[in-house]
Structure 1
Amino acid sequence: MNSIKRMLIYVFIILFIVSIHKDLTVGTPLNNKPEIHYDNNTIVQESLTATKVKVNKGDTVLSIVEELDHQNDKQLDISQIQADFKALNPNVETLHIEPGKYYYFPSY
């Protein structure tokens, strides 16, 4: 009886160690940045789709996003649009887009 208890304890310990190892190696990575796939004029980022657009004089991030999504009837959240634009164009401020340049704009 004593040897059966000892064997069960060893099996339990081994399963416990294997489960911890699997959890640490297969679990969620520390770097949670979503992957970005680039196409000619479109980016698909996990749950975010964007289109590459040339900015004209007088255009704003909001006006371009509204133009891209003119068929969509749902209300757009301005802070979410700004955050998504910043995620797609990390080195660009949303209020300082330049006419004649191409930027990626989120599509909803």
Structure 2
Amino acid sequence: MKKINKPLFYTFILLFLISVHKDLTVGTPLNNDTDGQNEQNLKMSAEQETITIIKVQVQQGDTVLSIVEAINQQRNHVNQLDISQVLSDFRTLNPGVEPLNIETGNYYYFPAY
């Protein structure tokens, strides 16, 4: 029985090393969509829901939530807003920007549900 276990063990080790080598050299391709997308009509799919994205310049006293509420009040969707989803969508649309650190005068993308 020991004679069978030793070659089987080495076979598994060899297959594991081959698998690791292939994964590190070939890897998984990243999805890099760089289609020319219109900033005003950019669409994002979030859990089978289409979200329209609007580029807005932040004014003095604006917050992410106040801007999203204003955008969605025009669309009569204010009662359906989930704050955590709004903040998550803002972070997704504006990589590297924290919702609490938006700056007056800068343009950011905001979700319109």
- TM-score interval for Structure 1 and Structure 2 normalised by the shorter chain: 0.5 to 0.7
Partner of residue 95, structure 1: 100
Q: Give the one of 66, 70, 94 matched to 1:67.
A: 70
Given that residues 69 and 78 in structure 2 are in contact (C-alpha distance below 8 angstroms), is that contact kept between their aligned partners in structure 1? no
Given that residues 89 and 104 in structure 1 are in contact (C-alpha distance below 8 angstroms), is that contact kept between their aligned partners in structure 2? yes
State the TM-score, normalizing by the size of structure 2: 0.60
Change (3 A) 1:53 1:73: closer
1:62 alignment partner, SS class: helix
User: Could you tell me the percent identity over the aligned residues?
Assistant: 46
In the alignment, the residues of structure 2 paired with residue 67 and residue 104 of structure 1 have an alpha-carbon distance, to the nearest angstrom, of 14
Instruction: Decide which structure has greater helix share.
Output: 2
In the alignment, the residues of structure 1 paired with residue 109 and residue 64 of structure 2 have an alpha-carbon distance, to the nearest angstrom, of 10
CA RMSD of aligned residues (A): 2.5
Given that residues 36 and 43 in structure 1 are in contact (C-alpha distance below 8 angstroms), is that contact kept between their aligned partners in structure 2? no
2:99 alignment partner, SS class: coil
- Does 2:76 match 1:78? no
- The CA deviation at 1:75 is 2.6
Change (3 A) 1:79 1:73: closer
Given that residues 58 and 107 in structure 2 are in contact (C-alpha distance below 8 angstroms), is that contact kept between their aligned partners in structure 1? yes
Q: How many residues in Structure 1 have an aligned counterpart in Structure 2? A: 80
